[in-house]
Amino acid sequence: MTALLPRRGLAQILALIVILAVDRVVSPQFFDLRLQDGRLFGSLIDVLNRGTPVALLSLGMVLVIATRGIDLSVGAVMAICGAIAASLADTHGLPVVLAAALGAGLVCGLWNGFLVAVLGMQPIVATLILMVAGRGIAQLITEGRIVTFSSPDLVWLGNGSVLGLPVPVVIALGMLILTGAVVRGSALGLLIEATGGNARASELAGVGTRAMIIAVYVWCGVCAALAGVIAAADIMGADANNAGLWLELDAILAVVIGGTSLFGGRFSLVLAVLGALIIQTMNTGILLSGYPPEFNLLVKAGVVLAVLLLQSPKLSGFAGIATRLRGTKA
């Protein structure tokens, strides 16, 4: 029984199923899929495609949160890297564009990591600096305009397809597998959790907590850079004022919905990505429902509250009693 239904993740999967069912009710054609120009077309694909930026952000964010940190700058980093990619796209090849954008993300992550791990700043304050300054940097790069490009290579990153799936979805899947392989295929994940659980004890036990913290911020920066490039490629332009705006909050929400505590320690990559999908499934459902937009935020808040209630220790305590009762009967 416990093997079939893992305790961790049950609430999230349940929430996703319920929201999908509600989407089906408000929009009968929700699960319809067809091929359009060699690419799958339908609301489900929209959910995956539109959920990609937040899913990518949550992959970095979950590691940062696991070390008891937080990164508020990811939205601004998206804007910076999207701006860099867009301004280079028509004059340079894709490898140069990607290297420059991801490099910028890496530098942003290093900066955050330096402030937190070396200077010992509070993560929320340290990353707030780049959150504010970063959008300014992005606006300087684009000179306040929307920089458009027509480079087919970069456009493909946002709008192309691989085996019928949108390229962004494939990239996000690849990043999930890569991140999972690195942190769970080695002791790295455990060391990150140890750092978040008790940094002082881990330090004394020989864990390089400073290196761990810098590493997770760097990874978070790289993930944000990738999300920024995809967001720019999607609209064939870099919009420094709006790219990634408030997405740091969605990313944090995705991680929290995924059951990772803001106090650090145990984390789950898959559930964080599932959290991002839950958010997007709800967003797409709201758009399809045809309700006036004044209700959007209200509905969103209600659903988030419900999902988090589903995970609250008190409620799962009741569920635990029920399981134990069943266990004694068997």
Partner 1 sequence: MTLKALFAASATAALLLALPANAGQLTIGFSQIGSESGWRAAETSVSKQEASKRQVNLKIADAQQKQENQIKAIRSFIAQNVDAIFLAPVVSTGWDSVLKEAKEAKIPVVLLDRDIDPSGKELYLTAVTSDSVHEGEVAGDWLAKTVGTKPCNIVELQGTVGASVATNRKKGFDTAVAKHANLKVVRSQTGDFTRAKGKEVMESFIKAEGGGKNICAVYAHNDDMMVGAIQAMKEAGLKPGKDILTVSIDAVPDIFKAMVAGEANATVELTPNMAGPALDAVAAFKDKGTVPPKWIQTESKLYTAADDPQKIYDSKKGLGY
Beta-strand relationship, 34-36 and 161-162:
unpaired
CB of 30 to partner 1, least distance (A): 8
Please, which residue, 188 or 288, has the CB nearer to partner 1?
A: 288
DSSP 51-102: HHHHHHHHHHHHHHHHTT---TTHHHHHHHHHHHHHHHHTTS-HHHHHHHHH
Binding mask 43-62 for partner 1 (x = CB under 8 A): x--x---x------------
Scanning 10-18, 89-97, 183-191, 239-247 for contacts with partner 1 by CB under 8 A, the matching segment is 239-247
Going 46 to 48 to 49 to 52, the CA torsion angle's sign is: positive
**Contacting partner 1 (CB under 8 A), which of 154, 167, 231, 303?**
231
The helix (run of H) or strand (run of E) holding residue 36 is: strand 34-36
CA pair distance 49, 280, nearest whole angstrom = 9
Q: How far is CA 16 from CA 194, 281, 282, in A?
A: 30, 8, 9
CB of 178 to partner 1, least distance (A): 26
Which residues does 177 contact at the CB level (< 8 Å), separation at least 6? none
Please, which residue, 67 or 284, has the CB nearer to partner 1?
A: 284
Please, which residue, 29 or 312, has the CB nearer to partner 1?
A: 29
* 234 part of the interface to partner 1, by CB under 8 A: yes
Q: Which of residues 93-152 bind partner 1 (CB under 8 A)?
A: 139, 143-146, 148
CA pair distance 277, 240, nearest whole angstrom = 25
Q: Which of residues 245-304 bind partner 1 (CB under 8 A)?
A: 284, 287-288, 290, 292-294, 296
Asked if 135 and 244 count as a contact pair (C-beta separation under 8 A), the reply is no
Beta-strand relationship, 146-148 and 237-239:
antiparallel
Please, which residue, 179 or 283, has the CB nearer to partner 1?
A: 283
Give strand ranges (E) for 102-178. 146-148, 161-162, 165-166
CB of 271 to partner 1, least distance (A): 24
* 206 part of the interface to partner 1, by CB under 8 A: no
* 235 part of the interface to partner 1, by CB under 8 A: yes
Where along the sequence are the contacts to partner 1 (CB under 8 A)?
27, 29, 32, 36-37, 39, 41-43, 46, 50, 139, 143-146, 148, 159, 231, 234-237, 239, 241-243, 284, 287-288, 290, 292-294, 296
